């Protein structure tokens, strides 16, 4: 009969020791909690599966609740590793947050298939999300109101999109349009855009296949296709780094998992999930 003789929980790390009948076999299992960006979720979950396959004594979890939750979770050491699809901001670095890039990503602009526009300038994208452009006819489309779909405030994709469009075109005091429909993840975004006529949204490259299958299409931005090659060449105007976050410089398990993410196997996972491995 198995008997758990010790379970120790320290912040995001849990260690369980099992002793089997006769005391002949002992198995130590270390569990680590991670969480944050929904954009990073496909990469981290696939990496967890691969990592656990070669480390039988480790159990990992990832809660996709948004980049801000991931950063704060790492700072508070609720998570041994946070995921953030944006750069650190405000007092996060001063509070100990350290960001390590593990992938690149473009933020694609997507629209419902009913939209007759196939290309927008970055200035037009910013104008739509600021609320200055409200009808598709203003950008060469039909006389239809533009239904704007945005991410929730915990989203790192939302922050990165704002920085790369609205802040870049206007200034740091300019905010998103107030009456946009709000969704909580990249998956929700592409599903909502695909099912909402005359709508516009945005998502990480890893969700473009789902966008197409949901009834959406990818728009050119400044006449440039949202593609891996164009991000690597620095030509696609809405792109970013994807980061993992630690409290202070990574050590122990955090350092080991980051090393795995940056290894050939980890970067292959990045590519396989539709994102962009580091050059």
Mean pLDDT, rounded, for 60-65: 96
Q: What is the pLDDT of residue 256?
A: 97
Phi-psi sector, 90: left (phi>0), alpha (psi -120 to 50), beta: left
Q: How do residues 184-216 score in pLDDT, each as one tens digit?
A: 999 999 999 999 999 999 999 889 999 999 999
Q: What percent of the chain has pLDDT over 90?
A: 84
Burial (CB < 10 A; 0-12, 13-18, 19+), residue 251, is exposed
Topology of domain 105-239, per CATH?
A: D-Maltodextrin-Binding Protein; domain 2 (3.40.190)
Q: What is the pLDDT of residue 28?
A: 81
Q: What is the pLDDT of residue 23?
A: 54
Residue 12 pLDDT more than 60? no
Q: How far apart are CA 224 and CA 236, in angstroms?
A: 6
Looking at domain 3-104+243-272, which of 3.40.50.170, 3.90.1150.10, 2.30.40.10, 3.40.190.10 is its CATH number?
Answer: 3.40.190.10
Mean pLDDT, rounded, for 103-115: 96
Closest CA to 274 of 217, 208, 230: 208
Cβ atoms 107, 157 nearer than 8 A:
yes
CA distances from 172 to 34, 164, 167 (A): 31, 11, 5
Q: pLDDT-based confidence at 2, cuts 50/70/90?
A: very low
Residue 20 pLDDT more than 70? no
Q: pLDDT-based confidence at 154, cuts 50/70/90?
A: confident
Q: What is the pLDDT of residue 29?
A: 85
Q: What percent of the chain has pLDDT over 70?
A: 90
Same fold, 3-104+243-272 and 105-239: yes
Mean pLDDT, the chain, integer: 91
Q: How far apart are CA 255 and CA 262, in angstroms?
A: 11
Q: How do residues 118-140 score in pLDDT, each as one tens digit?
A: 999 999 999 999 999 999 999 99
DSSP annotation of 219 reads P
Domain ranges of the chain: 3-104+243-272, 105-239
Q: How many helices (H) and strands (E) does the chain have?
A: 10, 13
Q: What is the pLDDT of residue 195?
A: 98
- Other beta carbons less than 10 A from residue 94's beta carbon: 8
Higher-pLDDT residue of 21, 35: 35
Q: pLDDT-based confidence at 27, cuts 50/70/90?
A: low
Q: How far apart are CA 52 and CA 105, in angstroms?
A: 25
Q: How far apart are CA 120 and CA 99, in angstroms?
A: 32
């Amino acid at each position: 009969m198995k008997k758990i003789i010790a379970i120790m929980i320290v912040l995001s790390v849990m260690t369980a020791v099992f002793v089997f009948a006769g005391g002949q076999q002992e198995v130590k299992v270390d569990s680590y909690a991670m969480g944050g960006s929904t954009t990073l979720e496909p990469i981290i979950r696939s990496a967890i599966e691969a990592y656990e396959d070669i480390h039988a004594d480790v159990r990992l979890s990832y809660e996709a609740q948004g980049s801000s939750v991931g950063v704060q979770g790492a700072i508070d050491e609720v998570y041994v590793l946070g995921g953030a699809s944006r750069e650190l901001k405000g007092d996060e670095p001063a509070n100990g947050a350290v960001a390590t890039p593990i992938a690149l990503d473009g933020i694609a602009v997507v629209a419902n298939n009913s939209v007759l526009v196939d290309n927008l300038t970055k200035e037009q994208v910013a104008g739509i999300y600021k609320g200055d452009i409200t009808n598709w006819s203003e950008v060469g489309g039909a006389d239809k109101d533009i239904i704007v779909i945005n991410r929730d405030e915990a989203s790192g994709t939302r922050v990165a999109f704002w920085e790369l469009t609205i802040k870049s075109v206007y200034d740091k005091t300019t905010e998103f349009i107030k009456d946009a429909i709000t969704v909580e993840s990249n998956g929700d975004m592409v599903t909502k855009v695909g099912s909402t006529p005359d709508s516009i949204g945005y998502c990480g490259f890893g969700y473009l296949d789902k966008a197409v299958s949901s009834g959406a299409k990818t728009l050119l931005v400044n006449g440039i296709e949202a593609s891996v090659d164009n991000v690597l060449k620095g030509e696609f105007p809405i792109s970013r780094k994807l980061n993992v976050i630690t409290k202070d410089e990574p050590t122990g398990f955090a350092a080991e998992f980051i090393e795995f993410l940056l290894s050939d196997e980890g970067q292959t996972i990045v590519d396989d999930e539709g994102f962009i491995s580091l050059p």
